[in-house]
Homo-oligomer: A and B are copies of this chain.
Amino acid sequence: MQILLSKKIKLKARFFDVDSMNVVWHGNYVKYMEIARCELLDEIGYGYEKMKQDGFVFPIVKMDIKYIKPIFFNDDIQIEARLLKSDGFLKFNYEISSIKTGDKLSIANTSQMAVRICDYTTCFELPNELLMAINLYLEKR
């Protein structure tokens, strides 16, 4: 699938994110992915606040995660979010890797759909505002 844009962030696995095996609890990866996705959207000037102003929210409709190697307490990790070319969905894939070893730790995918706030109707195409923000960013690069 064609990658339009990607964004890498770095973070540390915190104490409150690890479980009784001293590794990050699997549900907390969803937060890491959201941080990277939001940073990418903020960078193209189309974060959640801009979406709301335009009258849209983008709920997650599908998500899958593959856990390859554990993330231990205090590990420094990189999360790369990649915006994929797609007609109806806002699609991202993610790769989490260890900063120390470079090992791939997890891969994941999310799909979001645009929903109009005024009447909660689902849009089967991405709003023009979003497509323009992506194109504008790609041109400026």
Complex CA distance for A74 and B15, rounded to whole angstroms:
20
Q: Are A30 and B26 in contact (CB under 8 A)?
A: yes
Judge if A23 is at the interface, Cβ distance under 8 Å.
yes
- Least CB distance from A31 to B in Å reads 5
Q: Mark out the residues of chain A between 21 and 54 whose CB falls within 8 Å of any chain B CB in the assembled complex.
A: 21-23, 25-28, 30-31, 34-35, 38, 42, 47-49
Q: Are A61 and B67 in contact (CB under 8 A)?
A: yes
Q: Are A26 and B60 in contact (CB under 8 A)?
A: yes
- Among A20, A22, A23, chain B packs the most CB atoms within 10 A around the CB of A20
Chain B residues positioned under 8 Å from A49 (CB to CB):
73-74
Chain B residues positioned under 8 Å from A73 (CB to CB):
20, 48-49
